[in-house]
Homo-oligomer: A and B are copies of this chain.
Amino acid sequence: MKKVVGFGDYLLRLNPMGYLKFIQSPNWEANFTGAEANVCVSLSNMGVKTDFVCKLPKNEIARCAISALDKYRVGTDFIARGGDRIGLFYVEKGASQRPSRVIYDRMNSSFINSSSDDYNWNEIFKDAGFFHFTGITPALDPNVANLCVEALKKAKEHGITVSCDLNYRKNLWTTEQAKATMENLLKYVDVLIANEEDAEKVLGISAPDTDVTQGKLSKDGYIYVADQICKKYDINKVAITLRQSISASDNNWSGLLYTEGQAYFSKEYSVHLVDRVGGGDSFGAGLIYAIGHEFSNQDCIEYAVAASCLKQTMEWDVNLSTVDEILTLMSGDGSGRVQR
């Protein structure tokens, strides 16, 4: 399949060791993360050519960040360099009744203050087939929202398929701001990924009988939401991730693909979580891979869910699974027997 381009900010992720709290842990694991970058890494591990587009400062920390992408062969040639800083993402892993907690310190990043001149879209989109972004990117700053519009227009000029993960973050903007901005961007979107909370908060579309914190999920409700989104925004494919959070240690995980009036539900996995951060991003990557390889609709959602199920059994934010590993899980062997 053709190259996938991701566009968004890239952050230093710091977390304490294991289940320690920050105040207990003298050493912190240092990784790099960003919703769109995570999608690129996942796809690259599946053998897909990718380019991640961003702006990062000229310092040693940004050098580490870029090398974290190079390590997985994500294209980094279009990452602009300059500006003041790389953003930060602190995360403390929860367990059982204790939720994971995250703190962002990402304002004034090089990316947020970047300009049109930093991105040569005509060059970037040469040979590209997909463009992926998330609702986090326009939420960062109106400047970045404008950069998104520019990128999307260029993507359409190049005949590129656009995927978007709504990814609503309440600490970045209000639902009103989100709605105004995202509705403008959805015009360019072919494949939309959301969960029920995103749909309600950003688009104002909610499943009648779902109560997130109670973990009640209704199939009909999700079909209703997906159908409304497709119709209202003229979107071809809507994928909804269905997470039933039993505790911070155990989640049920499945998904729905809705396209051309038909709903395709995946099987559901009971996941004993290793690290759930990045679950949504790996779902997006799986979906893009499956669409790019023209899987059937049912297989598209099965592949995306199996990929993101595996991600959640790994530490940190990216899915390191190969296509074979995902297909094996998808085709039925979730028994976890040792692979000798």
Contacts and interface: CB of A to CB of B under 8 A. Distances in A.
Interface of A: 14, 17-31, 59-61, 63-64, 67-68, 70-73, 84-86, 88, 90, 92, 94-103, 105, 107-108, 169-171, 212-215, 245-250, 269-274, 276-277, 309-310, 312-316, 320-321, 325, 329, 332-340
7 contacts: A18-B18, A18-B315, A22-B64, A23-B320, A68-B71, A84-B107, A215-B335
Contact of A336 (B64, B102, B248): B248
B19 A169 contact: no
B24 A271 contact: no
A92 B60 contact: yes
B336 A101 contact: no
A16 to B, nearest CB: 9
Given A17-B27, A71-B67, A272-B95, A247 B336 contact: yes
A167 to B, nearest CB: 11
B22 A61 contact: yes
A45 B147 CA distance: 32
B269 A97 contact: yes
Q: Which residue, A108, A250, A335, has most C-beta atoms of chain B within 10 A?
A: A335
Given A96-B272, A337-B99, A315 B24 contact: yes
Given A70-B73, A84-B107, A14 B27 contact: no
Q: Which residue, A21, A67, A96, A314, has most C-beta atoms of chain B within 10 A?
A: A96
A103 B271 CA distance: 25
Nearest to A71: B71
A30 B19 contact: no
Given A26-B26, A274-B19, A314-B19, A247 B70 contact: no
B27 A29 contact: yes
A84 B87 CA distance: 13
